[in-house]
Amino acid sequence: MSKSVSTPAPEQEIPPAVIEEWLRPFTDFLAKEKRYSIYTVRNYTQAFEDFYFWLTLGGRKATAFDALTARETRDFVIEAQRRFKRKTLHNHVSGLRTFFKFWLQRGKVQRNPFAGVPLPKLEKSLPKFLTETQMTALLTGPQKLLDNETQAAFTTWRDRLVLELLYGGGLRVSELIALNYGSIDFGDGSARVLGKGRKERICPLGATAMAVLKHFRDHHARDRGPTDPVLVTEKHSRLTVTAVQLLVKKYLALADLPMDMSPHKLRHSYATHLLNSGADLRTVQELLGHANLTTTQVYTHTSVARLKEIYAKAHPRA
């Protein structure tokens, strides 16, 4: 009977030979051929590492991937539920399923032991978002600091631009920081972005975001060539994901808004506000760059909830 083991010790390392034989060809395939984001590659790498250490601590031969039984993969899932949230577990198993599919196609394993492995159901939770009033409070934060003379003009306009692009364009953080001046069409007020899977789409940015962008470019940007980043630090280097996350937290605190909001939840707000204002689902799907309509449909639940709330307050028979 398989052992249930605790979290692998952090000081352990995967042998270089295993990395070269099993992991690196897989991650190279994800990054170079599938063009997955660095975050997906990182997450799938972590999934492999966790599973490898689980096999090692369980007394199994860690590289005997072709000898794994359905019972062993079920045991892994059961034990992993004690260490991971359900969504993280689903992501890990997705990564492992992809790993074994990769090697199955190359004849190195004879079956995918994670194909059809039962997983706990995901909790159905609606995406969190800010109301339009809350968004206004957030967006006016940088100007307040400038008016109070507690923040420099460069930082104020840069931060305004970050918030306006996240909300006005519905961009992912990775898409936001990757924007170059050559990606912006100043004539029609749109940006060309590369989303998940390196899929390109055109994002309208809105009149307000474009006005802030032009002001920042004209008064604060040092480098404005086609390959120069739009969003930069005070030293004019490209802004990082972490910097954007901290920036958003700063203005959430200033506006006394929920601190569990994140840059991605501004994207949720963007989608929800579009649907609440009458945009059709297919259009919102294209604007967000979702491959499947079902991914976008989660926002309709939020819109329906809002409609029910309005109905309950306004209808005499509610």
R_g (Cα) of the chain, nearest Å: 23
Respond yes or no: is residue 196 known to be catalytic: yes
User: How far apart are the C-alpha atoms of 241 and 175, rounded to whole Å?
Assistant: 10
- Which residue in the list 196, 201, 217, 238 is annotated as catalytic? 196
- Which residue in the list 267, 268, 270, 273 is annotated as catalytic? 267
* DSSP 8-state class, residue 182: G
The CA–CA distances, whole Å, from 14 to 63, 73, 180 equal 11, 20, 38
- Which residue in the list 36, 52, 270, 299 is annotated as catalytic? 299
- Which residue in the list 83, 128, 290, 306 is annotated as catalytic? 290
Respond yes or no: is residue 267 known to be catalytic: yes
Respond yes or no: is residue 92 known to be catalytic: no
The CA–CA distances, whole Å, from 41 to 31, 81, 155, 235 equal 7, 22, 32, 30
- Which residue in the list 250, 264, 301, 306 is annotated as catalytic? 264
Respond yes or no: is residue 172 known to be catalytic: yes
Nearest to 136 by CA among 144, 127, 128: 144
User: How far apart are the C-alpha atoms of 139 and 150, rounded to whole Å?
Assistant: 17
Return all residues near 295 (Cβ < 8 A) that are at least 6 apart. 285, 288
Amino acid at 226: P
Block residue for tokens 């920036």? 247
- Which residue in the list 92, 158, 160, 172 is annotated as catalytic? 172
Block residue for tokens 């939770």? 125
153 contacts 216 by C-beta, under 8 angstroms:
no
User: How far apart are the C-alpha atoms of 40 and 50, rounded to whole Å?
Assistant: 15
User: How far apart are the C-alpha atoms of 4 and 41, rounded to whole Å?
Assistant: 27
Return all residues near 312 (Cβ < 8 A) that are at least 6 apart. 318
User: How far apart are the C-alpha atoms of 255 and 108, rounded to whole Å?
Assistant: 55
Q: Which sign, positive or negative, has the C-alpha torsion 208, 210, 211, 216?
A: positive
**What are the catalytic residues?**
172, 196, 264, 267, 290, 299
